[in-house]
Amino acid sequence: MIKLKSINKESSTIGIIAPASTDDIEKANKNITLFKKLGYKIKLGKNIFNSYGYLAGTDKERADDINRMFADKEVDAIICYRGGYGSIRIANYLDLNTIKKNPKIFCGYSDITLLLNYINKKCKFPTFHGPMINSDFDDPITEHYFTNILENINNKITYNLKSICNNNLKVYNSRDFKGRLVGGNLSIICSTIGTPYEIKFKNNILLIEEVNESPYVIDRMLSQLICSRKLDKLQAIILGHFTDCTSTKNTLTIEEIIEEKLLPLNIPIIKYFPFGHDYPNITMPIGVKFRYDSKKYLLIQE
């Protein structure tokens, strides 16, 4: 896999783009100002403040910002402003040759799940499932993993699950395993099945997180993955935040759904790893191979 250049606060420039949804300009400027406190120089995408309905500009404008940021020799890393919706609309406009020739840190989550997995699959360098510009970097654990991983990108990562999960860790079908990290947001994972942007499931470790979906919707999406046989060759599943995935009506809980749908797969299921739509939001490299030590609860980069 192609290696990336790490970033540092003294000299690195971070490009900021909005590949999916738009935001209020005043709110966006406030979030960008807060991000600047981390100490990096920044460069804004040409179309970052554009608006086209619920999108941050037309499909071509948003794709052009990604292509330009990868081509720009001054830009050392690219962090998405936010997710929302729209990444699938721009994937066909990505200049994959330019992106592959200019490998850089590319970070985001939520709707950006599609771009993280697609760029990794096509261009053969790691992308990063982690916080965005509108995230809360005042959360110390979120900020620590973001800066520490991206500033030490050539050092191998070890996640101590007992420590990170703050004793909330739960592991089903526990045993050692290894594979590449793929996935992210459950809705996006499901929506790409049968498209050129479908993630690589076979022999990999699937990350799953979600936000603002009722339990029956989580049930439906997991059922889709199971019925499509996409989970048959997985090595393991790591579950992150399921934020506001509740209902006041008669319902199964997320815990009940996970146990009923996923445990029969008879693969390790790690629950309560903090990534996704809540805090902490741990940065994780997509496409990188890890092994899990079930005795020490360590996820170790190979």
Active site residues: 110, 209, 277
Asked if residues 58 and 18 have their Cβ atoms less than 8 Å apart, the reply is: no
For residues 123 and 235, give the distance between their C-alpha atoms in angstroms, rounded to a whole number.
Answer: 23
Q: In 3D, which of 227, 219, 223, 225 has the Cα closest to residue 199?
A: 225
Residue 42, both tokens: 């920044």
For residues 282 and 163, give the distance between their C-alpha atoms in angstroms, rounded to a whole number.
Answer: 12
Between CA 88 and CA 91, with CA 89 as vertex, the angle to 5 degrees is: 65
Q: Looking at residue 9, what DSSP letter applies?
A: T
Residue 182, both tokens: 């793929």
Chain centroid, CA 18 distance in Å? 15
Instruction: Give just the sign of the alpha carbon dihedral 202, 206, 210, 215.
Output: positive
Q: Give the C-alpha distances (Å, rounded to integers) separating 295 from 239, 250, 292.
A: 19, 39, 9
Largest CA distance in the chain: 55
Residue 70, both tokens: 């990868």
Q: In 3D, which of 201, 169, 166 has the Cα closest to residue 182?
A: 201
